Amino acid sequence: MRENAPGIWIVRKEAERLGRYLESHLDGRLGGLRGNPELSNREAFALSYPDYSQWILVMATGIAVRYLEGLKISKSTDPGVVVLDESCRFAVSLIGGHEGGANCLAYRVANLVGAVPVITTATETLKPLVVGMGCRRGAGSDQIETAVTEALSRIGRSKDEIREVATVDVKAEEKGILEWCTQTGVPLRLISRSLIQERPWVAESSMLVHSRFGIEGVCEPCALLVTFRGRLILRKMCLNGVAVAVAEEVSGL
């Protein structure tokens, strides 16, 4: 029977600290420390591979591809695999994005270590909208639903076009936001306050936000920071304690 917690595998001793961090924060199980001297690291991984429903491989994608060679059977049964580089720059959903839950896991890992989640499945990457969001403490998911619905109606767009929701890291445990994202199936992206301080893209600064968090705003910079070539199509809109801004990804073609 497969473990529900993710398996975590490293290939270098230098990655053990990161592996332990992931293990403790994701309730995972760390491997790759050469517990059996008779097996290579790759051989030991091959034996462990079927035991977990999801994997986080802390290594280069090229090494991950070689480790997975010959192990995959079917996308309906294979574990979802996320590859994280040791510098925590990118959390790549490599295989099993939908069926194996790797897309969701990539966001969890990215939010935990400050990486960029890399999702390449068409149903996600073709969605052009990012919703930047802030709210009063304790705002309910119904308040957030009302605000998002109103925001989208102002620009004539739909929830089906939302790729992700972005908010500041201090809102990581905000129940209303988490519940709304779960209910709608939209992933949540956390942006660090330090990054917002470096790129405070706001039409108008908020004295309240600055006094509490030391940043000029939340929803507008968060929406823009998670796009690659984004433009703001709805500036900050406030409704019942929820602030929403919408950015649209501009095609590079």
Q: Which of 100, 123, 146 represents a domain boundary (last residue)?
A: 123
Residues 82 and 178 in one domain: no
> Is residue 175, in this structure, part of any structural domain at all?
yes
- For residue 1, pLDDT over 60 is answered with no
Structural domain count, the chain: 2
In the three-class reduction of DSSP (H, G, I as helix; E, B as strand; rest coil), residue 42 is classed as: helix
The token pair at 51 is: 């035991």
Q: Say whether both 58 and 142 belong to one domain.
A: no
Cα–Cα dist 56/77, whole Å: 17
Asked if the structure places residue 82 within a domain, the reply is yes
> How far is residue 164 CA from its own chain's centroid?
9
Residue 75: predicted pLDDT: 84
Query: What b/e string do you get for 189-221 counting C-beta neighbours within 10 Å, with b at 16 or more?
Result: bbbeeebbeeeebbeeebeebeeebebbbbbbb
Instruction: State the CATH number of the domain containing residue 23.
Output: 3.40.50.11220
Handedness of CA 176, 145, 111, 108 (dihedral sign): positive
Contacts of range 238-242, beta carbons closer than 8 Å, 24 or more positions apart:
238/147, 239/143, 239/146, 239/147, 239/150, 240/139, 240/143, 240/146, 240/147, 241/135, 241/136, 241/139, 241/143, 242/133, 242/134, 242/135, 242/136, 242/139, 242/143, 242/144, 242/146, 242/147, 242/148
Q: What is the pLDDT of residues 43-56, one digit of tens each?
A: 999 999 999 999 99
Whole domain around residue 84: which residue ranges? 7-123
Query: What DSSP state is assigned to residue 3?
Result: B
Q: Is position 219 within any domain?
A: yes
> Are residue 89 and residue 143 in the same domain, yes or no?
no
Q: Does residue 1 form part of some domain?
A: no
Residues 117 and 76 both lie in one domain: yes
Q: Give the mean pLDDT of 127-153.
A: 96
Residue 211 pLDDT exceeds 60 = yes
CA–CA separation, 221 and 215 (whole Å) = 10
Among 219, 187, 27, which residue's Cα sits nearest to residue 102? 187
**Same structural domain for residues 131 and 243?**
yes
Question: In angstroms, rounded to a whole number, what is the distance separating the alpha carbons of residues 84 and 204?
Answer: 36
Name the domain boundary from 93, 123, 153.
123
Domain presence at residue 177:
yes
Alpha-carbon span 157 to 131, nearest angstrom: 12
pLDDT of res. 253: 63
pLDDT per position as a tens digit, 59-102: 999 999 999 999 998 888 899 999 999 999 999 999 999 999 99
Residue where one domain finishes, among candidates 104, 123, 142? 123
- Is the pLDDT confidence value at 38 over 60? yes
pLDDT in tens, 215-252: 778 999 999 999 998 999 999 999 999 999 999 998 76
User: 81 and 16 in one domain?
Assistant: yes
Mean pLDDT of the chain: 92
**How far, CA to CA in Å, does 164 sit from each of 48, 63, 148, 188?**
33, 29, 12, 6
Distance separating alpha carbons of residues 147 and 141, to the nearest angstrom: 10
